[in-house]
C-alpha cells in the first residue's frame, strides 16, 4: 500500500494499540524490485566502494538488499516464498518460539527461501495495491515508466533494455520479466490525481 497519512494508517493496520512498533519495508527497495528496475540497473558497485577496499563483495546493488534481508538488517515483504499461515500450520507447533526455530531451520536447510531471492516468482508478486492519498503513478514514483510496464502492464515509454552484463549473484535472474503484476489497484483520494486514471477503482477520502 502506498500511504500518505502513515501514522494513522500504521496504528490501525499494524495493531499498535496492543503490539510493538512494526518493522516496515522501505518503499524505495520494494518498488525497485517490484517494477523490475533492478534488472535495468547498470551501476557497478566498484564505483561506490571506499578506496581502501580492493573489490566489493557484490557487483550488483540488488545483492546487498538480499544480504541485508538475510542478516535481519532490514525487513523485506513478502518475507518468504511460502504463505506464512501455511508455514505455521506445517510446523506443527503452537508455541511461537518453536515456530520461529522451525522456520529458521527450514531456511538454513534451503527448504524455505527468502522471497527477495527470486523477485520474479509469481507466487510473491503484489496482486492488490491501495494508493491512499498518495499520487504514486505519475508523481511520486521513481521510475514512472517502469511502474507502467511491469506493475500495471499498460502503455509505457521504457526505452532502455535490461542489463545483460551486470547480473546478480545471490538473486535469481530470469530472462523474461513479467509485465502487469497487479490484478487490482484502488485509488483513495479527495483530489483529481493521475493515479486515478490508472486505477481499477477510485474511492473518495
- Asked, for residue 99, whether it belongs to a domain, the answer is no
* Whether residue 78 has a cis bond before it, omega within 30° of 0: yes
- Asked, for residue 122, whether it belongs to a domain, the answer is yes
99 by DSSP, 3-state: which? Answer: helix
Alpha carbon 167 to its chain centroid, in Å, reads 19
- Asked, for residue 84, whether it belongs to a domain, the answer is no
Q: In the structure grid, which three cell numbers stand for residue 55, read together? A: 573489490
Rg (C-alpha) for the chain, rounded Å, is 19
**Residue 122 sits in a domain of what CATH number?**
3.40.50.12770
- How many domains, the chain? 1
pTM here is 0.89
Cα dihedral across residues 76, 80, 84, 89: positive or negative: negative
* Per-residue pLDDT tens digits for 52-101: 988 999 999 999 999 999 999 999 999 999 999 999 999 999 999 999 99
Give the domain extent around 42: 2-79+114-204
C-alpha 112/C-alpha 52 separation (Å) is 37
- Asked, for residue 101, whether it belongs to a domain, the answer is no
- Cβ partners under 8 Å of residue 84, min gap 6: none
Rounded to 5 degrees, φ, ψ at 89 are: -65, -45
* Per-residue pLDDT tens digits for 114-163: 999 999 999 999 999 999 888 899 888 889 999 999 999 999 999 999 99
- Asked, for residue 85, whether it belongs to a domain, the answer is no
**Which residue in this structure is represented by grid cell 514512472?**
144
* Per-residue pLDDT tens digits for 182-205: 999 999 988 888 999 999 999 997
Q: Report whether 16 contacts 22 (CB < 8 A).
A: yes
What is the phi-psi region of residue 11: left when phi exceeds 0, alpha when psi lies from -120 to 50, beta otherwise?
alpha
- Asked, for residue 131, whether it belongs to a domain, the answer is yes
Q: Report whether 181 contacts 167 (CB < 8 A).
A: no
- Asked, for residue 90, whether it belongs to a domain, the answer is no
- Asked, for residue 27, whether it belongs to a domain, the answer is yes
**DSSP structure string for 63-116:** HHHHHHHHTTSS--SS-BSS-HHHHHHHHT--SHHHHHHHHHHHHHTTSS-BGG
CA-to-CA dists, residue 134 to 15, 78, 101, 139, 189, angstroms: 22, 22, 39, 9, 8
Amino acid at each position: 500500500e502506498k500511504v500518505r497519512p502513515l501514522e494513522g494508517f500504521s496504528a490501525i493496520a499494524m495493531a499498535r494499540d496492543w503490539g510493538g512498533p512494526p518493522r516496515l519495508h522501505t518503499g524505495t527497495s520494494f518498488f525497485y524490485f517490484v517494477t523490475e528496475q533492478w534488472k535495468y540497473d547498470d551501476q557497478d558497485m566498484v564505483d561506490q566502494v571506499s578506496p581502501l577496499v580492493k573489490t566489493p563483495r557484490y557487483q550488483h546493488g540488488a545483492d546487498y538488499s538480499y544480504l541485508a534481508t538475510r542478516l535481519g538488517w532490514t525487513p523485506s515483504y513478502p518475507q518468504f516464498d511460502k504463505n506464512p499461515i501455511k508455514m505455521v500450520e506445517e510446523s506443527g507447533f503452537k508455541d511461537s518460539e518453536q515456530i520461529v526455530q522451525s522456520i529458521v531451520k527450514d531456511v538454513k536447510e534451503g527448504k524455505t527461501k527468502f522471497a527477495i531471492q527470486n523477485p520474479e516468482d509469481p507466487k510473491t508478486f503484489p496482486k492488490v495495491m491501495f494508493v491512499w492519498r498518495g499520487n504514486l503513478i505519475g508523481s511520486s514514483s521513481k521510475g514512472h515508466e517502469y511502474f507502467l510496464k511491469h506493475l500495471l502492464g499498460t502503455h509505457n515509454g521504457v526505452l532502455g533494455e535490461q542489463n545483460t552484463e551486470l547480473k546478480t549473484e545471490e538473486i535469481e535472474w530470469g530472462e523474461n520479466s513479467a509485465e502487469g503484476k497487479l490484478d487490482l489497484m484502488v485509488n483513495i483520494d479527495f483530489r483529481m490525481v493521475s493515479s486515478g486514471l490508472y486505477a481499477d477503482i477510485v474511492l473518495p477520502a
